[in-house]
Amino acid sequence: MGLLSSILASQGGNIVGQISSKFGLDPAMAESAVRSLIPAISQGIQNNTSDKTGLESLVSALSNGNHQSYVDDPDSISDPATTADGNSILGHILGSKEISRNVADEAAAETGVSSSTLKKMLPILASVAMGVMSRESSSSSGNKLDIGGLLSSFIGSDDNGSVAQGLLGMAKKLF
C-alpha cells in the first residue's frame, strides 16, 4: 500500500472527515486536496533520503519520535503541536517555505481549494505522513527498521492513478 492509500485509511478511514471539518471543506474537496499534496510530500521524502544524512535523520525520527499519535488520535489534527511538527518535517523534506508555497499554489490550481487553505493543510499532512510511516516501521518484522523496504512500499507505489502521477511529476519539477 502506498503512502496516499495509507493516509486515506488512517483513523479508520476518517482522516478525510477530520481534515474536512478542520478546514471547512466538503469531504470530496478535502480528499482532492489530500490526493494533490501527498505526491509532493512523497517526493520530498524520497529526495531527502537519497543521501546518507537525510536517511539517518528519517530513521532517527521514525525510531525516536511520537509520530504515530498523528494517525492514532483524531484530535491530533487540530492540535497546534501537529502543525508545528509538520512545519519542521516540511523544512527537512522540502527545504524551504518557497517550495511549500509552490506546492500549495499548484495544488490549488488542480483542486479548486484555496492556496491559503492548502498551505495550512500541508504541515498537518506531513505529520500524518510521518505517523503512517512510523506505524509501519514499528509493525515491521523484528526490531530492525527496514527503511529501504518502508520507503519502497510508500514512495511511488500508490494506486491513485494518473492525476497523482501528474502531480508527482509537478513535484519533481519543484525540487
Residue 87 pLDDT = 92
Local confidence pLDDT in tens for the 175 residues of the chain: 688 888 888 877 788 899 999 999 999 999 999 999 999 998 888 888 888 888 888 888 877 778 888 888 878 889 999 999 999 999 888 888 889 999 999 999 999 999 999 999 999 999 999 988 888 777 654 444 455 555 665 655 444 433 334 434 444 444 4
What is the Cα 161 distance to its own chain's centre?
Answer: 17
Q: Which residues of 52-69 are buried (b: 16+ CB within 10 A; e: fewer)?
A: eebeeebeebbeeeebbb
pLDDT of amino acid 149: 57
Q: What is the pLDDT of residue 123?
A: 94
Kindly provide the residue ranges of all beta strands, DSSP E only, lying in 34-106, ordered along the sequence: none
Per-residue pLDDT, 143: 45
Which residues make Cβ contacts (< 8 Å) with residue 162, sequence separation at least 6?
none
CA 2 – CA 115 distance, rounded (Å): 25
- Give the pLDDT confidence score for residue 151 in this predicted structure: 63
Q: Which three three-digit cell numbers place residue 67?
A: 509520530
Taken in order 164, 8, 56, 143, the sign of the CA dihedral is negative
Look up the pTM and report it. Answer: 0.80
Report the pLDDT value the prediction gives residue 27, as an integer from 0 to 100: 93
- Please list, in sequence order, all residues whose beta carbon lies within 8 angstroms of the beta carbon of residue 100, skipping any fewer than 6 positions away: 90, 94, 119, 122
Distance CA 92, CA 102 (A): 16
pLDDT (0 to 100) of residue 12: 78
